[in-house]
């Protein structure tokens, strides 16, 4: 009887221990599952952030490469403009030297003509001298015209160079520049002027539009042709309606 009671107690103790162990193990399993889920969620979030960061890095690298290319292109354009301006300036300087030389030759020919006339030389000698003077004068006129073209070209190139460099450059125009408005388009805010490259107009040059001595508006040149130019009306500077025939003068005349 005692042995049976001991067996029953042992069985009950074993069952109780099993229940306790089951509850403990279940708690451990639940904790491990929760910990596993937390780690999985952290891994998923970290992996998502890594993918996003990788995309951002690739985009930043692409933007950097594009910026570097744009900088290289701007530097190349600036170097080309500098070289062109230097070449044009040298050509202008050479023409000035040539003009000085031809002018001296003309003056010498005129002096010789006066001397021949005073000494009673033959008409043929005088005619030859006159022909030489005319030839030299024609050459001087051609050089002066080419020099004027080169001067305008150098001014235009300097303007483009200043824009490439990014300085606060103000485009100056010839102080004696005087033009008129040929066409007005109020809808699109532009005007056509009767002055252009031959008169020294430059891109981005600013002109004052006036009528009867009163300021009407200010325009900025956007396109230059030989004897024409197109300019946009500057916002905040239109004090009245612009009409055909209105006068335009430089807002920033060269000194």
The range of the structural domain enclosing residue 13 comes to 1-167
DSSP state of 173: B
Q: Is residue 173 part of a domain?
A: no
How many domains would you assign to the chain?
Answer: 2
Q: Is residue 239 part of a domain?
A: yes
Q: Are 153 and 187 members of one domain?
A: no
Strand 206-211 to strand 214-224: parallel, antiparallel, or no bridges (unpaired)? Answer: antiparallel
Q: Are 54 and 12 members of one domain?
A: yes
Strand 229-233 to strand 247-250: parallel, antiparallel, or no bridges (unpaired)? Answer: unpaired
In this prediction, residue 126 has a pLDDT band, given cuts at 50, 70 and 90, of low
80-92: average pLDDT: 82
pLDDT tens per residue, range 9-65: 767 666 655 655 555 666 667 776 677 767 777 777 777 777 877 787 788 787 777
Q: Is residue 255 part of a domain?
A: no
Q: Are 153 and 192 members of one domain?
A: no
Q: Are 22 and 138 members of one domain?
A: yes
**CATH code for the domain in which residue 224 is found:** 2.40.10.340
Q: Are 189 and 221 members of one domain?
A: yes
* Helix-, strand-, coil-residue percentages of the chain, each rounded to 5: 65, 15, 20
- String of DSSP letters for 20-41: HHHHHHHHHHHHHHHHHHHHHH
Q: Are 154 and 60 members of one domain?
A: yes
Q: Are 17 and 139 members of one domain?
A: yes
Q: What is the CA radius of gyration of the chain?
A: 44
Residue 206 predicted with pLDDT over 90: yes
d(CA 132, CA 116) in angstroms, rounded, equals: 14
Of the three residues 111, 137, 167, the one that is the final residue of a domain is 167
223-227: average pLDDT: 90
Residue 165 predicted with pLDDT over 70: no
Please state the pTM of the whole predicted model: 0.42
Count CB-CB contacts under 10 A for residue 227. Answer: 14
Q: Is residue 86 part of a domain?
A: yes
Q: Is residue 172 part of a domain?
A: no
Of the three residues 138, 167, 196, the one that is the final residue of a domain is 167
Of the three residues 112, 142, 167, the one that is the final residue of a domain is 167
pLDDT given at position 121: 63
């Amino acid at each position: 009887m005692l042995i049976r009671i001991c067996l029953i107690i042992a069985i009950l103790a074993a069952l109780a221990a099993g229940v306790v162990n089951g509850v403990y193990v279940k708690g451990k399993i639940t904790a491990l599952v929760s910990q596993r889920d937390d780690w999985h969620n952290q891994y998923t979030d970290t992996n998502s952030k890594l993918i996003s960061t990788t995309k951002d890095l690739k985009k930043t690298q692409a933007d950097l490469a594009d910026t570097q290319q744009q900088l290289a292109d701007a530097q190349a354009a600036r170097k080309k403009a500098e070289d062109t301006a230097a070449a044009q300036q040298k050509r202008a300087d050479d023409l000035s030297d040539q003009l000085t030389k031809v002018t001296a030759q003309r003056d010498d020919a005129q002096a010789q003509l006066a001397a021949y006339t005073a000494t009673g030389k033959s008409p043929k000698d005088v005619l030859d001298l006159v022909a030489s003077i005319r030839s030299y004068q024609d050459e001087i006129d051609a050089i002066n015209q080419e020099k004027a073209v080169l001067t305008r070209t150098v001014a235009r190139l300097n303007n483009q160079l200043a824009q490439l460099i990014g300085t606060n450059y103000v485009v100056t125009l010839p102080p004696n520049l005087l033009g008129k408005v040929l066409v007005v388009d109020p809808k699109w805010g532009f005007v056509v002027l009767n002055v252009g490259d031959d008169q020294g107009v430059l891109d981005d040059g600013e002109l004052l539009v006036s009528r009867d001595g009163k300021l009407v508006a200010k325009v900025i040149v956007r396109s230059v042709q030989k004897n024409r130019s197109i300019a946009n009306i500057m916002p905040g500077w239109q004090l009245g309606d612009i009409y055909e025939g209105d006068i335009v003068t430089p807002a920033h005349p060269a000194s």
